Amino acid sequence: MFTQTEKLIAIRNLRPKRKQGFLKIISLFSFLGIMLGVAILIIVMSVMNGFRADLTDKIIGLNPHLILQSNNDTDLKGIRKKISTKYNEINITESISGEGIILTKNKAKGILIKGINEKDKSQSFSNKEITKGNLNDFTVGRVMIGGELAYNLNLEIGNKINIISSSFVDTPFGSIPKQDSFIIAGFFNSGFYEFDQNLIYLELNDSRSIFDKEVGNVDLELFLKDPFLAEKYKKEIQKLNKNIFVTTWSDTNKSFFNALKVERNVMFIILTLIIVVAAFNIISGLTILIKNKTKEIAIIKTLGLSENSIIKSFFLTGFSIGFLATVAGVFFGVIFSIYIDVIRNFLSMVFGINIFPSDVYYLEKMPSEINITSVSVVFFLSLIITSLASYFPAKTISKMKTTDALKYE
């Protein structure tokens, strides 16, 4: 691709004379700018990939993988029987969900209510930490509430609370909301603040009563061995009965994942601009280099070296800076991403501040997931940018007239 002569000229260009110290500074800034741009882009992408993976795991742990709903109880009974027969690997539970208000002695708050079958509580709480109380105490007449909600309402284990539902009952005085009293059996921590400050679990019969639901009028929750196959099972289950409305865990959290995707793409574009700005240093550096070597270029032309070879040698000069900077950026970016939590702990210790506190982000460590595809995209994108930045200044040599160049001082 490049001849020995072209390589030698490129190497000579990378070692400017002492009086051309300004070129050294431009080359150094070009190198550092591209290296830092690539490294930061890889680090940010890795951290965002880690965030997405950790949050996805938490969301999968908090939600059923598939939810089946229908206005017809017969449809749900039939589909449950078909699923149990066809898919032995699927665990099926029942639930009733709705909204309500929790009342204490001097406080009230809007809440989300979820009723689950007592025999399925181990499945429902498998990814939640019981911070106070005992899950075995969760039965009819008792509730499990989020730790944040308990803290905000100053509640303790064994306290009595009143819950008002969104369903109404007719009385001689008109329609009034249904309400009932319950004893707190325990507190849970899901790792998500919004869940923990708004969610209350009731036993299925209690939720059926407070929401005035008939027996059989429930949602079916399906738990898969591989949650990422939810979309595949959704299509197959809908074929069994088209009257069933099927929602996957990703459908339920679609807006959240879309927001993460948009944020990731915006960050990618913004950080790519760092590489673009650094590439402009290559353009200015090569332009100055070509200007300073105008007479030398003319002499080389008269000695028989083709114009194309000269262009290639100056292109190789700029590309070498970009390539070496990109390789260095990938190296430092990957290393930093691997040890990012160690570095975080070190900086927290040195500066005496808690960087990325777990009580705010609900993650034990700073997540980082190196994606080979993302690293490859950054690597080749940087090479394309630096190639373009090297090509256009080098191409100006073709417009240079040898006779005028020999007169240049």
pLDDT digits (tens, 9 = 90+) for 372-392: 988 998 899 888 988 888 888
C-alpha 182, offset from chain centre: 39
- DSSP string across 138-150: --TTEEEEEHHHH
Residue 342's contacts (CB-CB under 8 Å, 6 or more residues apart) are none
pLDDT for 38-81, tens place per residue?
A: 998 899 889 888 888 888 888 887 788 898 887 666 667 788 88
Higher pLDDT, 342 or 306: 342
Report the pLDDT value the prediction gives residue 255, as an integer from 0 to 100.
Answer: 86
Most confident range, picked from 119-123, 129-133, 331-335, 338-342: 331-335
pLDDT at 309 over 60: yes
Report the pLDDT value the prediction gives residue 220, as an integer from 0 to 100.
Answer: 87
Mean pLDDT is lowest, of 155-159, 231-235, 311-315, for 311-315
Region 187-213: what's the mean pLDDT? 85
pLDDT at 112 over 80: yes
Per DSSP, what are the bridge partners of residue 146? 188
Segment 398-401 long-range contacts (CB within 8 Å, at least 24 positions apart): 398/307, 398/311, 400/294, 400/297, 400/298
pLDDT at 409 over 60: no
Q: What percent of the chain has pLDDT over 90?
A: 8
Report the pLDDT value the prediction gives residue 51, as an integer from 0 to 100.
Answer: 83
Please report which residue ranges of 306-357 form alpha helices under DSSP H.
307-338, 340-351
Give CA separation, 118 vs 138, 143, 225, 397, in Å: 7, 11, 22, 81
Report the pLDDT value the prediction gives residue 64, as an integer from 0 to 100.
Answer: 87
pTM comes to 0.74
Report the pLDDT value the prediction gives residue 321, as an integer from 0 to 100.
Answer: 85
364: pLDDT confidence band, cut at 50, 70 and 90?
Answer: low
Region 180-204: what's the mean pLDDT? 87
Most confident range, picked from 49-53, 92-96, 128-132, 330-334: 330-334
pLDDT for 231-245, tens place per residue?
A: 998 888 888 877 788
pLDDT at 88 over 70: yes
Region 267-290: what's the mean pLDDT? 81
pLDDT at 361 over 70: no
Report the pLDDT value the prediction gives residue 360, as an integer from 0 to 100.
Answer: 62
